[in-house]
Amino acid sequence: MPEEFEDRDLSDSVFWGVNLERVYVRDANLAEARFFHTWWTDVSIDGIVDRLVVNGVDVTDFVNSRDRWFPLRTQLEPSTDDQLRATWDAIQGEWWSLLERVDVMPPDTTSTSVAGEWSLRDTLRHLVFAMDKWFRWPIVGAREFSSIGLPNTGSRDREWPGLDLDADPTFTEVMAIRRAYVDEFHRGIHEYSISQLPETVDVLENGSVPALMCFHVVLEEEFEHLRYALRDLDQI
């Protein structure tokens, strides 16, 4: 029967004679994994590809040369100030293009959900929340979240200072806060140097984490939700 493995260390495990049809793997590290005598039919893989060998054929260059998001997807954990700023600028350039596209689409585009996923409005509300949680609270020192932020489902039952789970802001209201937060983060990564960050900071819900991780999470959230938003816009 179906099982769910979350936050488990399954490294060095052996799966022999198992049925993995319709398995869903997310946020997993498959480095040095080996698949032998397996069936790959109608399989979708999305992630960082570095020396991927299929049936003895190294397809790494083929995949990466045709990947819309390469090399950006490999640059979400920068270790220098210049890398951090370059990755942020690249992601925001993509967001800018997306919003320009939305400007010429029907007015209800921003509130339209595709297959039960967040609308663009709610996606941006979640990014407001993520910026509060991972940057403004632990790095800037703000002690109140924007009321319009939208946490993920698993975090909705937690108390977030200032958050209003019943908020129903317009897209214009969301964009005003979104722009302010984007500008604040942009200023922050030019004012803060990675070398001057504290070793650890406290993040609500996650506890003590490396300070640099906070910036990495912001980049990942911005990148992944950008791709989700583009995917859904293509369906609208």
> What are 92-106's pLDDT values in tens digits?
999 999 999 999 999
Q: What is the pLDDT of residue 234?
A: 95
Q: For the chain, give the mean pLDDT.
A: 96
Nearest alpha carbon to residue 111 among 90, 125, 100: 125
Of the pLDDT bands very low, low, confident and very high (cuts 50, 70, 90), residue 4 is confident
Cα separation, 134 vs 127, in Å, equals 10
Q: What is the pLDDT of residue 165?
A: 94
Of the pLDDT bands very low, low, confident and very high (cuts 50, 70, 90), residue 109 is very high
Of the pLDDT bands very low, low, confident and very high (cuts 50, 70, 90), residue 6 is confident
Cα separation, 219 vs 209, in Å, equals 16
Of the pLDDT bands very low, low, confident and very high (cuts 50, 70, 90), residue 131 is very high
Strand intervals (E) in 13-80? 53-54, 57-58
Q: What is the pLDDT of residue 2?
A: 79
pLDDT of 82 higher than 90:
yes
Residue 3, CA distances (Å) to 6, 23, 24, 71 in order: 10, 10, 11, 34
Give the fold, CATH level 3, of 75-235.
Answer: Four Helix Bundle (Hemerythrin (Met), subunit A) (1.20.120)
Q: Average pLDDT, stretch 8-31?
A: 92
Q: Average pLDDT, stretch 3-26?
A: 90
DSSP alpha helices (H): ranges in 192-210?
Answer: none
pLDDT of 163 higher than 90:
yes
* Phi/psi of residue 79, nearest 5 degrees: -115, -5
Contacts of residues 91-95 at CB distance under 8 Å and 24 or more positions apart, as own/partner, are 91/219, 91/222, 91/223, 91/226, 92/182, 92/186, 92/222, 94/226, 95/222, 95/226
Angle subtended at Cα 199 by Cα 197 and Cα 203, rounded to the nearest 5 degrees: 90
Q: What is the pLDDT of residue 54?
A: 96
- The CATH 1.20.120.450 domain(s) of the chain lie at 75-235
pLDDT of 141 higher than 90:
yes
Q: Which of 19-33, 73-87, 118-132 has the lowest mean pLDDT?
A: 19-33
Query: Is residue 228 a contact partner of residue 117, using CB atoms and an 8 Å limit?
Result: yes
| Helical axes 211-235 vs 120-131, angle rounded to 10° | 180
Q: Percent of the chain at pLDDT above 90?
A: 94
- Give the SS3 label for residue 187: helix
Query: Is residue 50 a contact partner of residue 30, using CB atoms and an 8 Å limit?
Result: no
Q: Average pLDDT, stretch 144-169?
A: 96
- pLDDT 10s digits, 29-48: 999 999 999 999 999 999 99
- pLDDT 10s digits, 164-204: 999 999 999 999 999 999 999 999 999 989 999 999 999 99
Q: What is the pLDDT of residue 7?
A: 84
